[in-house]
């Protein structure tokens, strides 16, 4: 610790006797008086321009400086199911312990000054540049208030915990900061700030934060611990390392910035910095708040993230006494939890093998997302059994899609001029033009020329690759179609076989994409918050519900017409028992090199509700889950959930295709090859090997139809196996470009 370091944060201003402090202050002394005058002129000019001199003087004189120990209050915010009657849970239990400045460690004082406001000891309490920007944005409708505030300004904002961004509120904060800067000793401001600022995990103030994160008193914080806590103030939720590796990496970046600032200001030497620069301090595994656990803990986390994205600060979300009403239907959420956990247990029981006789059901990761097709409101979301034990949000984690990516190739083809009557090559061993790669169908079956509708109904791999390769820049057009329906691109490789499902998509995005199609091509933003009220009952936030026409209406109509065939006469016929018309698609991602099934899917939508179900396994969701298909477990689980979701709702049929004549744009396929497979009729599918064991059901159901499997006639090169998963936050190699993606 340098002499300057000890002196600068002992509860007093930096000492002139410190070499570093003297040097720093010498640099300022020459123009400090003039600079101070200019600062005050700038501040007053902005304030007077808004209020006028007389009004400003009156407001300034009558504005009371708050007492942090009396005026600072926090209230628990509560999150409710749709309708606002039944609570889901509350946010953090609030923890605040005030201590005097003399008991606060020097390293915490230094870090906060260096990282947040290096000119703290000399500024008038206000940043002129930040003030000008704040007033400008406060006076500009639709523009959020910008930052650049001093510790004094931040302290005022903490004391008046509110989302109010009116000019009156902003001017009140400005006047309070001015008054504090002039009338309150800097030591008192620093003490008050460090006793009230929010660090995360429900902890307000340095003492509570020291206990919440490191289980020590503030006076015992090491330098790395003090700097890490200071870094968290910038964005407590995003920078909590317990939430994942991405958060830990973001915290390290801010931690290193703060260390660099401490060297710059003179609170630390380069050698001291270098000794602790490369890694964060150890964060002990302390007890967590169980109210944020269980399946609904994921809902709470999503609510908080959505509100933060909307510009509401985490300290207000946790401690503002907010009443947060979600879009989640309690009955449907309970049904989703039961359905997914029942599916997980059945899979574990039915797929046990000699190699895995005692496989834990928790090996499997079922996930579900269900949304309102016209508004994007999330009706139910199942991301896992416990948000604390396994923080990965499976409903929002992209995984290989198998043939559930074919709908977006279908959209691309229809946009490119194809009709459902156009015919494509359904023969086995389709050779991708310009390569030695051959795409196969289930059981080696050749269908001959097939219409685009039949290729969709029977999920014929070769026909979809033929469609993609006949389009100019076909893979890019497929990717564009997927993006336009609302699916986030997770670095997809634009290969000819993209329709077969090596591309990764999350269940929530898949549900959104299908919702766009059944909503006549109009895309909405998914959201979980319906309304937020402050502690006084004032509505401070409502999402903007907008529909963007991102897919041409006739394209969406024809795509839906083709996807209804999957349910009525294709790989998901058991779903037709819902009693409502459904557009849907099964999918299974199969690694033919290792002969492992990595993911099984069913996505389906009525006119009113779109729901996606996926099943993966293993720590990162890339392990072999056994001999199963999208039609064996996800489709029946989807049906079980949707029976509850659609109960009492109007039965609405889709309009059907706009036209069936051939476009003439796409070339006719070659003469059909002879096939040893049985003749395929409208209601019979080829049986892949091995045939999956049908899933037991509580009532008689049609035997699940196995989906066509994509298995190349030649094994993929040994140098390009499917990569193993990396932990969250790390870059994971993509699946081999062009590799067939899966079954059905």
Higher pLDDT, 512 or 17: 512
User: Do 367 and 361 meet the contact criterion of CB atoms below 8 Å apart?
Assistant: no
Q: Tell whether the model's pLDDT for residue 324 goes beyond 50.
A: yes
Percent of the chain with pLDDT over 90: 57
Q: Is a pLDDT exceeding 70 seen at residue 141?
A: no
**Does residue 492 have a pLDDT over 70?**
yes
Q: Which residue has the tokens 């016209």?
A: 374
pLDDT grade for 738, boundaries at 50, 70 and 90: very low
Distance CA 462, CA 81 (A): 46
Per residue in 166-192, pLDDT (tens digit) is: 666 677 778 888 888 888 899 999 999
CB 741 within 8 A of CB 589: yes
DSSP string, 180-237: HHHHS-HHHHHHHHHHH-EEETTEESHHHHHHHHHSS-GGG--HHHHHHHHHHTT-TT
Looking at residue 171, its pLDDT comes to: 74
- Look-up of token digits 């879009």: 327
Could you tell me the pTM of the whole model? 0.72
Question: Among 205, 583, 579, 173, which residue's Cα sits nearest to residue 373?
Answer: 583
Q: Spell out the CATH class of 3-62+94-288.
A: mainly alpha
| H or E element at residue 112 | helix 106-116
Statement: residue 327 has pLDDT above 50: yes
Q: Where are the alpha helices (DSSP H) in 266-379?
A: 270-276, 297-309, 314-319, 330-350
Q: 429 to each of 447, 467, 629, how far by Cα in Å? A: 11, 15, 22
HSE of 502 in the Cβ direction (CA atoms, 13 Å)? 24
Q: Nearest Cα to 729, choosing from 336, 350, 391?
A: 391
pLDDT of residue 167: 63
User: Which pLDDT score is estimated for 662?
Assistant: 79
Q: Which residue in this structure is represented by tokens 């557009």?
A: 583
Beta strand ranges found along 545-633 (DSSP E): 548-549, 583-591, 596-605, 609-617
pLDDT category at 137 given cuts 50, 70, 90 is: low
CATH class for the region spanning 333-716: alpha beta
Range of weakest confidence among 106-120, 546-560, 594-608, 663-677 = 663-677
Q: How far is CA 629 from the centre of its chain?
A: 27
Q: Out of 49-53, 321-325, 715-719, which region has the weakest mean confidence (pLDDT)? A: 715-719
- Strand 449-451 with 529-533, pairing: unpaired
d(CA 579, CA 651): 8
pLDDT confidence bin for 659, thresholds 50/70/90: confident
Q: Which of 12-16, 36-40, 135-139, 330-334 has the highest mean pLDDT?
A: 330-334
Which has the higher per-residue pLDDT, 470 or 707?
470
- Pairwise pLDDT comparison (597 vs 704), residue with the higher score: 597
Per-residue pLDDT, 692: 32
Separation of alpha carbons 407 and 399, rounded Å: 16
Question: To the nearest whole percent, how much of the chain has pLDDT over 70?
Answer: 74
Tell me what pLDDT residue 498 has.
Answer: 97
Predicted confidence (pLDDT) per residue in 382-419, tens digit: 999 988 778 789 999 999 999 999 999 999 999 999 99
Instruction: Say if residue 298's pLDDT is above 60.
Output: yes
Token pair in block for residue 740 = 């067939």
Which residues, 6 or more positions from 692, have their beta carbon under 8 angstroms from its beta carbon?
627, 628, 629, 632, 704, 706
Tokens coding 592: 């033919």
Q: Which residue has the higher pLDDT, 16 or 613?
A: 613
Same fold, 3-62+94-288 and 333-716: no
The region of weakest confidence among 22-31, 503-512, 690-699 is 690-699
Spell out the domain ranges in the chain. Answer: 3-62+94-288, 333-716
Tens of pLDDT, residue by residue over 441-463, are 877 899 999 999 999 999 999 99
Most confident of 66-75, 76-85, 288-297, 601-610: 601-610
pLDDT, position 350: 86
Encoded tokens for 534: 């402050």
Which residues neighbour 601 within 8 Å (Cβ) at sequence distance 6 or greater? 401, 402, 404, 510, 585, 586, 587, 588, 612, 613, 614, 615, 630, 634
What pLDDT, on the 0 to 100 scale, is given for residue 323?
Answer: 96
Rg, Å, the chain Cα set = 30
pLDDT band at 691, cuts 50/70/90?
very low
pLDDT score of 288: 67
pLDDT, average across residues 618-631: 91
């Amino acid at each position: 610790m340098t002499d300057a370091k000890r002196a600068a944060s002992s509860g007093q201003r930096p000492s002139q006797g410190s070499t570093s402090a003297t040097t720093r202050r010498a640099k300022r002394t020459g123009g400090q008086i003039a600079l101070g005058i200019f600062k005050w002129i700038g501040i007053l000019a902005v304030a007077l321009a808004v209020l006028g001199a007389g009004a400003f003087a009156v407001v300034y004189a009558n504005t009371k400086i708050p007492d942090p120990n009396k005026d600072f209050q926090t209230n628990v915010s509560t999150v409710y199911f749709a309708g606002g009657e039944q609570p889901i849970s509350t946010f953090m239990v609030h923890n605040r312990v005030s201590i005097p400045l003399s008991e606060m460690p020097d390293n915490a004082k230094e870090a906060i000054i260096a990282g947040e406001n290096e000119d703290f000891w000399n500024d008038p309490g206000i940043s002129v540049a930040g003030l000008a920007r704040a007033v400008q944005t406060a006076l500009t409708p639709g523009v959020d208030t910008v930052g650049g505030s001093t510790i004094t300004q931040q302290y005022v904002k903490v004391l008046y915990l509110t989302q109010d961004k009116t000019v009156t509120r902003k001017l009140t904060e400005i006047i309070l900061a001015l008054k504090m800067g002039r009338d309150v000793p800097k030591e008192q401001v620093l003490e008050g700030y460090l006793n009230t600022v929010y660090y995360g995990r429900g902890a307000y103030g340095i003492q509570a934060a020291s206990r919440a994160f490191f289980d020590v008193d503030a006076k015992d914080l090491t330098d790395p611990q003090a700097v890490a806590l200071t870094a968290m103030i910038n964005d407590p939720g995003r920078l909590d390392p317990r939430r994942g590796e991405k958060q830990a990496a973001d915290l390290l970046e801010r931690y290193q910035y703060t260390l660099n600032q401490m060297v710059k200001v003179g609170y630390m030497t380069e050698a001291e910095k270098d000794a602790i620069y490369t890694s964060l301090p150890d964060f002990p595994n302390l007890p967590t708040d169980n109210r944020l656990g269980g399946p609904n803990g994921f809902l709470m986390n999503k609510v908080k993230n959505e509100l933060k994205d909307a510009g509401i600060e985490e300290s207000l979300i946790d401690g503002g006494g907010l009443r947060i009403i979600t879009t989640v239907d309690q009955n449907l959420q309970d049904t989703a939890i039961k359905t997914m956990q029942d599916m997980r247990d059945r899979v574990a029981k039915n797929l046990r093998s000699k190699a895995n006789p005692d496989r834990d059901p928790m090996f499997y990761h079922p996930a579900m997302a269900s949304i309102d097709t016209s508004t994007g409101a999330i009706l139910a979301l199942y991301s896992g059994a416990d948000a604390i034990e396994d923080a990965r949000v499976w409903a929002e984690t992209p995984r290989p899609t198998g043939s559930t990516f074919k709908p977006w190739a279908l959209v691309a083809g229809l946009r490119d001029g194809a009709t459902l009557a156009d015919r494509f090559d359904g023969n086995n061993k389709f050779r991708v033009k310009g390569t030695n790669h051959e795409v196969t169908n289930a059981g080696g079956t050749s269908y001959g020329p097939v219409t685009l509708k039949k290729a969709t109904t029977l999920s014929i791999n070769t026909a979809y690759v033929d469609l993609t390769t006949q389009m100019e820049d076909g893979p890019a057009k497929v990717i564009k179609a997927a993006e336009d329906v609302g699916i986030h691109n997770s670095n997809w490789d634009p290969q000819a076989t993209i329709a077969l499902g090596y591309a990764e998509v999350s269940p929530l995005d898949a549900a959104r994409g299908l919702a766009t199609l059944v909503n006549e091509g109009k895309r909405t933003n998914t959201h979980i918050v319906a309304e937020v009220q402050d502690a006084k009952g004032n509505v401070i936030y409502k999402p903007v519900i907008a529909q963007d026409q991102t897919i041409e209406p006739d394209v969406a109509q024809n795509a839906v017409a083709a996807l209804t065939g999957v349910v009525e006469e294709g790989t998901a016929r058991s779903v037709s028992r819902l009693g409502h018309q459904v557009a849907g698609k099964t999918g299974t991602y199969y690694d033919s090199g290792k002969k492992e099934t990595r993911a099984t899917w069913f996505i389906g939508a009525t006119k009113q509700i779109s729901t996606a179900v996926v099943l993966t396994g293993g720590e990162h969701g890339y392990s072999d889950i056994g001999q199963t298909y999208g039609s064996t477990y996800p489709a029946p689980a989807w049906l079980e959930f949707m029976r509850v979701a659609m109960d009492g709702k109007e039965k609405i049929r889709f309009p059907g295709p706009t036209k069936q004549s051939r476009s003439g744009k796409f070339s006719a396929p070659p003469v059909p090859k002879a096939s040893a497979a049985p003749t395929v009729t409208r209601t019979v599918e080829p049986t892949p090997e091995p045939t999956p064991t049908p899933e037991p059901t509580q009532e008689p159901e049609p035997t699940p139809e196995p989906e066509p499997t994509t298995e190349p006639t030649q094994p993929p090169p040994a140098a390009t196996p499917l990569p193993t998963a990396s932990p969250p936050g790390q870059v994971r190699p993509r699946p081999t470009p062009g590799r067939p993606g899966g079954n059905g």
